Amino acid sequence: MKFSKLLFYILIILLVLFVKTMEIDSKLLDKNMDKYYWILNHTKYTHNSSRISNYVLDVSNRLLDNNYKLLTCILKTESDFDNFKTGDGGKAYGIGQMHEKAMIDSCKYLGLKSCKYSYLKRKVMKSILFSIELSAGYLSFLYKHYKGDLDKTIMAYNSGMNNVKDNKFNVLYLQKVKKCINQ
């Protein structure tokens, strides 16, 4: 009799703990769902929006202190999520429209094994996820370099670090990315 009473109380305690854990998990899920849907809303015109949204959340958690809006808005502004786009006279590639130096810097920053440009360029064009990873790595590198200055990070991503130093950057690009972030 005492044993069954004890077992009953243990089951009640476990049930309460389980319910509390589910409440915490659902709060975390709700929190991440808001982020997921925010990204999804900005990628709604692409055929693989769900995959991009999941990966942007993952990469921004790992590399950008969870700044998923920054990464999403950079990708939207650069290529409108078109991984096959080339820009700047054929010098910028992938969803993040990265140039050779940016790709190599990001690759080294991320500690990847092969940072040869010809390899990176091919991989960026083939894999949207790799392209997102390199873009996030470069943003992370710039964000740390500029000690958290978001404006300089955005300007350097678009114009290059030397142009930011020389005050040669595209103000309209900065405004467009910041407007997207604040939506």
Q: Which residues pair with 98 in a beta bridge?
A: 93
The per-residue pLDDT for 109 is: 93
User: Chain-centre distance of CA 105, in angstroms?
Assistant: 17
Specify the 3-state DSSP secondary structure of 93.
strand
Domain count of the chain?
A: 1
DSSP state letter for 98 = B
The per-residue pLDDT for 45 is: 56
Range of the domain at 162: 2-181
Using an 8 Å Cβ cutoff, are 149 and 164 in contact?
no
Q: Quick one: tokens of 29?
A: 């899920």
Instruction: Walk along the chain (183 residues) and give the pLDDT tens digit of each residue.
Output: 566 767 676 767 766 655 554 444 444 445 666 776 677 777 765 567 778 888 899 999 999 998 999 999 999 999 998 888 888 888 999 999 999 999 999 999 999 988 998 889 888 888 889 999 999 999 999 999 999 999 999 999 999 998 888 888 888 999 999 999 998
The per-residue pLDDT for 176 is: 95
The per-residue pLDDT for 102 is: 93
The answer to whether the predicted template modeling score (pTM) of the entire model surpasses 0.85 is no
CATH code of residue 21:
1.10.530
Q: How far is CA 120 from CA 54, 131, 138, in A?
A: 22, 9, 14
